[in-house]
Amino acid sequence: MTTSVRSSRRTEISGAFRRFQQSIWSSLFYRQSRDIAAALTRPFRRLDVCTMFRRDLTGYTGAPDALEVEIKRCLSVDEVEQAACLGRPDPYRRELFRWRFQNGCACFVARVGSTLVGYDWIRLRAGIDDGDWIDLAAHEVYTLDAYVAEDWRGHRIHRSMGAQMLLFAKAQGYTSAYSKASVFNYTSQKATRRNGWAVSGYALRVRGAKRGGWPIFRLYGSSYPLTRLRRKAVGA
């Protein structure tokens, strides 16, 4: 068997596997099972053990773009509100996205033709995210909250959006990027490592504080840039 034939066979197998994944992710059974599991585990999600990741942007050159996908930065509130419509309905998401857009974050979206299929956020200065104070220096950014529509997963869309964000940050003069992923989210952990991020530490976040956000406990390495929400940030 020639090299070209073997390569073609691997491509066919990979394509078939992606189609199989998509059929599962888009099935009613999968979505109902996911919602039931989320409801059952909600009382236990007061604890979040997360992996902290860091990436040097000085030599970053990006990643291959997903095929037939257009990725652009949102330039208006209307555009981020469109992104907020993706995923399971959430009445607070539009307000959150508007707030991020006006408070030091940038949103990138992916489209296939005219269909919006994903979004990804990056924080460009110190500020609040999910109850934490993200204590960034002037040359640092923090990536957060990426989503790809279930019917479009497996097409490298998340990876391509992340690459566009980091290239944008590098062009703006930023030299370091940080991110986090729950240790219970195997897919996110695997994808982040595969995309070249280095583990910088592990942290325990405990939901439930009346004020001041999540208490942060460093388990190993560094929990930077996560810190407990500053009083001045919550208006105390």
Say yes or no to pLDDT of 234 above 50: no
How do beta strands 176-182 and 47-56 pair?
A: antiparallel
The pLDDT, as a whole number, for residue 33 is 63
pLDDT tens per residue, range 126-178: 999 888 899 999 999 999 999 999 888 888 899 999 999 999 999 999 999 99
Say yes or no to pLDDT of 116 above 90: yes
CB 100 within 8 A of CB 84: no
pLDDT tens per residue, range 69-97: 999 999 999 999 999 999 888 889 999 99
Q: Is the dihedral of CA 115, 120, 124, 130 positive or negative?
A: positive
44-53, 91-100, 104-113, 173-182: least confidently modelled range: 44-53
**125-52-196 Cα angle (round to 5):** 95
233 — pLDDT class (breaks 50, 70, 90): very low
| 3-class secondary structure per residue, 159-215 | HHHHHHHHHHHHHCCCCEEEEEEECCCHHHHHHHHHCCCEEEEEEEEECCCCCCCCC
